[in-house]
Structure formats: structure tokens, C-alpha cells
Amino acid sequence: AVAERIGYPVLIKAANGGGGIGMEVAASADKLLKAIGRCRSRSERAFGSSVVYLERYLTAPRHIEIQVLFDAHGNGVSLFERECSIQRRHQKLVEEAPSVVMPRFPGLRERMGEAAVALGRAVGYVGVGTVEFLVDTDGAFYFMEMNTRLQVEHPVTECVTGLDLPGWQLRVANGEALRFDAPPAIGGHAIEVRLCAEDPSKGFFPQPGQVTALEWPPGPGVRVDSGIVLGSTVAPFYDSLLAKLIVSGATRAEAIGRLQAALAATRIEGVVTNLEFHRWLAAHPAFLAGELSTGFVDEHWGK
């Protein structure tokens, strides 16, 4: 009955899970019960709970999230959006701020920011957090979840706002009040790519190994947050993320130019990575045009 009310296709998700694990799409009623069964089974194995829920499945949405910051004195602000639509297995590979979709729908940034702040206030949230949405092709947006923590992609927000988000997490946890009632203006554009030990030619399957050569790119507007050094052993037991390469510029075009140069200058050997995938992406016409959706990789990669 819920699926009929929401309308097909529907997405079945683990209520106690995350990371895209166990998600199933059902395009019609005759496929719904089997899809729920598969999702329940995977959820039980991965998260110890078979509880699932349904939501409307959007066929070509953008994944847009709003960074929020709240103190313990009732103050809260939106620190604008991040575009996280380039994904594999429903997990992010590239994030940028601001999103190119915002100018296409006047007032969208403000409405999404207000919704994110309202959610945080409703639960009495204190700290840095992220409210995640899907934005449909008509500009309508839908709440997915809130991550009550700093996220991997927080550096792009730091680049365009000038704020130290880990620093503010510590300040508000220590009882300090926000020093502003409105966020700084957006300054420039920033892009982050996740460099992972995985093989894009084999479905982005994780690839353990040992780092035998390592070079990070120099240059202005380039930041590397790395979890590896020369000689590091990449085990198969953990997340495949090795490092984050973050670039910024006055415009999106400048940021992309710096990204292309930085990726060309990066060297990781001894372990298979998605470095070549990111080089491909940074030059792809659809990416350059900002024509993004969560189906981008499935639509373009390997075609």
C-alpha cells in the first residue's frame, strides 16, 4: 500500500544501514516483495537488523547536501551545498561546492538551506553536520538522511567559506557560541576527488597491495589529505579510501583546470587505484558542462 501511494519505481533501504549496502529498486508491484526480501537479508547480515523502508526512486537525481553548524545556544546556520552526484555503488567519488544546479532554480539554495537548518533545530542538534537531499530534474528536493558528523568531503566547504570546520566542531562541543548569525559569502569553487584502492575496470572492486611509489601534486589551490605514505600496506579489511585531492579556484573552470593538472602530476604505484578514472572524468564533456546525476558513472564510464 505504501509503494502504491508513493508511486513506482520505489527504492528499498536498510533502516539501520548506510553506504548504499543492500539497496534495491522495484519498478512494479510484482517485483516488490522479492526486492524487499533481498534487502532484508543483506541488511540483517551487514547491520544486524532486517528493518527496511521505502522511498520514491528518482531516475536521474542530483545528490546535493547542505553543511550545517549549530552551537549549544540555539544558533544554527547553513554553510551552503555540496554536489556529490558522481558515485559508484551509491557511494561518493567526487564532491564540489557550490553546485552548478543552483542558478538554474532561483531560490533553491535558500530553500534547501532553510530546510536543513529547520531539521537541525527540530532535533536540538549541536555540532557540524550534513543534511543530504536528492534534487530532481524539476528542482524539487527530497530529504534522504542527516549525517551527524564531519564528512569526508568537508574540505570543499572550507575552501569556499574560509571556515575551519574541525575547529568549529571542537569549539561548539566546548560550549562556545557561533561568532556569526549568517555564513560567509561563497568565494570561488572547490572540487574534491577520492583516490581509492579499487579497480574501475572491474566494477570498482577494492584492490589491496603495498604502495611502492608515491608523488603528490604541487601548485596553488591544491590540497592533499592523505592516509598513506611510501611503503604503506593497503589491507582488504577497511574502506578503500587512500587520500583526498582537493583543488580550488576563482571559478569552476579554473578549479577543473587545476584538478586536471593535479591528477596528471599524481603518482601512486604498487596498488591499483581509481586515478585514471578521475583523469577521464575531469576531461569528460558532460562533467565539464555540469550535467551530473547519480547515474553519471553507469551512463558514461566504459562507454
Q: Which residues are catalytic?
A: 149
Residue owning grid cell 557540524? 128
Q: How far apart are CA 90 and CA 235, in angstroms?
A: 22
DSSP-based three-state secondary structure for 211: coil
Q: How far apart are CA 34 and CA 198, in angstroms?
A: 31
How many CB atoms lie under 10 A from the CB of residue 96?
A: 30
DSSP conformation letters of 259-270: HHHHHHH-EEES
Q: Is the torsion defined by CA of 178, 105, 154, 124 positive or negative? A: positive
Q: Which residues of 172-202 are buried (b: 16+ CB within 10 A; e: fewer)?
A: beeeeebeeeebeebebbbbbbbbbbbebee
